[in-house]
Amino acid sequence: SLRNLGNGHGRESALQLFVQAKKRINDIFKDIDEYVVDAGKFVQGLSPELKGVGEEAIISPENAQVVVGFKVKIDGIREVLTRDHMKVVFFGRTSNGKSTVINAMLREKILPSGIGHTTHCFIQVEGSDNEEASMLTEDSNQPKSIQSLKQLASALSSGKLKENSLIRILWPKSKCRLLREDIVFLDSPGIDVSPDLDLWIDKFCLDADVFVLVANAESTLMQTEKNFFHKVSSRLSKPNVFVLQNRWDVSESEEDIDKVKQQHLDNNIQFLSEELQVADKREAKDRVFFVSARETLVSRLQDDTGIPTPDRALLPGFQARIFEFANFETKFEACISKSAVKTKFEQHTDRGKNITFELKKVMEDAFTSSNQHLERQQRLRQERLDELETLDKQLDLLSREVKAKIKVMVETVERKVASALNDE
């Protein structure tokens, strides 16, 4: 049924790939951490004589320092790991519906949307374990609680907000599957509003896993939109880009709409595959969707109340557009989890491998030198044993000589005594 589309019921979400991988890699680093701690204790616990200096040492001071360094590195990686998430950023001209798309995906009207220039700065929506929503601004690290969506809207609509600034909304994970599964959404002001694109990219896009270009189906892609993505793809190697031809509800009733749709599709495919070269033609076709964020949001909000949306609230053909939106989400989820696992965890995996490899070397060095130490000890003991044995033999010999001598002496004395007696 349409009702459950997109809220993840009844199927394992593709995002679990990331969630599970993150859990696994966290467990592995916990093990490595314990291993490093044990190694550290071992090094610490060596008796001073065995630590020694120079050749005699089982662990050289350099190696002991290396083990301490590993602990610091592992702590750092584990810290980054807990913060790792999948990040999707939305760009497009003002009023194309970026904020509405995000709200539809979140199944809640979190971000303010409206006609005119609505989103004034970057707004990030991320999951929180807290049951209460809160907000973080760049000028303080104290979260402010959000009493209501209305209050949030007024906080976000302030004209004082600077385009390049970031507001983070920490939204309860319990309310949204996508946040629970570690996706972070970034909404942006329109790219046609005198932006500093280079700064935007540096500040907000370098760790993005997926870019969504929210276009307006009522017009073709504009140069401002294209330019931004050219800049992105010159900075990041092969970014994942999706194109949403939004407001399709408004266009679809127009005459000759199939022709227009094909034209949009051809243009978008050409843009992704030939201009940006971020996908081949076949992949690009799977990156373009004709949707209505407004209808999807309205219908989902209504569905979540349990009462079906009255069809007259939506334009004819809305089911297909809502289906297309869910289709976009499925492709998007598969793409973002795969990409994030690769970009976020590959480097951790390499570093983890390096550290265990280096640690193994240190421990092997220790093992080799402790063996040498043992051999040396045994050799020394053997030498001492040999000495003792010789001494023993000498003593034995000596004592036998002495006994023999005494025997001779006694015999001599006896003989002398006997002859003296005889003489008397």
Please list the helix, strand and coil fractions of the chain in percent, rounded to the nearest 5, in that order.
60, 10, 30
d(CA 327, CA 329): 5
Pick the closer one to ligand GTP by CB: 19 or 315.
315
Query: With 0-12 CB in 10 A as exposed, 13-18 as middle and 19+ as buried, what is 192?
Result: middle
Q: What is the DSSP string of 181-250?
A: TTEEEEE---TTSS--HHHHIIIIITT-SEEEEEEETTSPPPHHHHHHHHHHHHHSSS-EEEEEEE-HHH
Parallel, antiparallel, or unpaired: how do β-strands 183-187 and 122-128 relate?
antiparallel
Asked if 126 and 83 touch (Cβ cutoff 8 Å), the reply is no
Q: Tell me if 119 contacts Mg ion by CB under 5 A.
A: yes
Whats the size of the chain, residue-wise? Answer: 424
Amino acid at 357: F
Task: Please identify, among the stretches 30-38, 92-100, 163-171, 301-309, the one whose residues bind Mg ion according to the rule CB under 5 A.
Answer: 92-100
Pick the closer one to ligand GTP by CB: 236 or 250.
250
d(CA 125, CA 86): 12
Pick the closer one to Mg ion by CB: 18 or 185.
185
- Which of ligand GTP, Mg ion, none lies near 294, with the C-beta cut-off 5 to 8 A by kind? ligand GTP
How near is the Cβ of 90 to ligand GTP at its closest, in Å? 8
- Which of ligand GTP, Mg ion, none lies near 216, with the C-beta cut-off 5 to 8 A by kind? none
Collapsing DSSP to helix, strand or coil, 10 comes out as coil
d(CA 333, CA 131): 25
Pick the closer one to Mg ion by CB: 99 or 337.
99
Task: Please identify, among the stretches 2-10, 85-93, 114-122, 265-273, the one whose residues bind Mg ion according to the rule CB under 5 A.
Answer: 114-122
- Per CB under 6 A, residues contacting ligand GTP are 92, 94-100, 113-115, 117-119, 189-190, 246-247, 249-250, 292-294
How near is the Cβ of 161 to ligand GTP at its closest, in Å? 12
Pick the closer one to Mg ion by CB: 120 or 348.
120
Q: Tell me if 100 contacts Mg ion by CB under 5 A.
A: no
- Which of ligand GTP, Mg ion, none lies near 240, with the C-beta cut-off 5 to 8 A by kind? none
Task: Please identify, among the stretches 90-98, 143-151, 237-245, 323-331, the one whose residues bind Mg ion according to the rule CB under 5 A.
Answer: 90-98
Give contact residues for Mg ion (rule: CB under 5 A): 98-99, 118-119
